[in-house]
Amino acid sequence: MSSVQKVSYNSSNPDESTQDLHLIYSDYGFARVEIFAAKSQTFRNKKHITKMYDSIRVNFFSNDGVVVSRLTALYGEIDHTASKIIVRDSVRLTNFAKNQTLETEALIWNQNDSTIYSVSQVIVKTPKGIFYGDGIRTKQDFSYYEIVNPKGSIQLEKEFKLD
């Protein structure tokens, strides 16, 4: 058997390959996060990593089971050991209720505390304006966020007179 493994085993090959990946993370029987990927490969060498390719979609659910926000990208990695997901390339996070969208090239989702952050350039589009920054920190539902070095313009509700 060891002779066969020497011929057929390559440590750089994935332990699993999947087409049309669909993962659901639940809490007490309720879906909290749902992940879709066109292709994935799981490696269990030094770290337990799942690489996702060719489009990724992550749905975040409210306590009543409604999708409140969605994260999309072209590439991602799940670090099962550190409980983090890193996504890259055409990253977009949308909060449906607030009609706001975050666009960036890379971000990290920390599953332990449900935070999402980026140190890349970001654009946040809301009904009241467009904001730019050098990074962002938000909850996974994108209901509240802090932009690093923000720039942009905002539409105010009231008119103010300057004297």
Q: pLDDT value at position 106?
A: 97
Q: Residue type at 143?
A: S
Q: Is the pLDDT of residue 162 over 70?
A: no
In a domain, 1, yes or no: no
Q: What is the mean pLDDT of the chain?
A: 89
**What would the mean pLDDT of 126-148 be, rounded to a whole number?**
93
Residue 121's pLDDT band (cuts 50, 70, 90):
very high
Closest by alpha carbon to 23, among 36, 38, 7?
A: 36
Q: What CATH number is attached to the domain comprising 106?
A: 2.60.450.10
Residue 10's pLDDT band (cuts 50, 70, 90):
low
The parent domain of residue 84 ranges over: 10-152
pTM tops 0.75:
yes
In a domain, 103, yes or no: yes
Q: What is the pLDDT of residues 29-46, one digit of tens each?
A: 888 899 999 999 999 888
Q: pLDDT value at position 154?
A: 66
In a domain, 98, yes or no: yes
In a domain, 163, yes or no: no
d(CA 1, CA 8): 11
In a domain, 124, yes or no: yes
Structural domain total, the chain: 1
Give 136's contacts (C-beta < 8 A, 6+ positions apart): 102, 104, 107, 116, 117, 118, 122, 124, 145, 146, 147, 148
Q: pLDDT value at position 152?
A: 79
**What would the mean pLDDT of 110-125 be, rounded to a whole number?**
94
In a domain, 158, yes or no: no
Task: Name which of 7-21, 24-38, 77-91, 104-118 the model is least confident about.
Answer: 7-21
In a domain, 83, yes or no: yes
Q: What is the pLDDT of residues 49-108, one digit of tens each?
A: 999 999 999 999 998 889 999 999 999 999 999 999 999 999 999 999 999 999 999 999
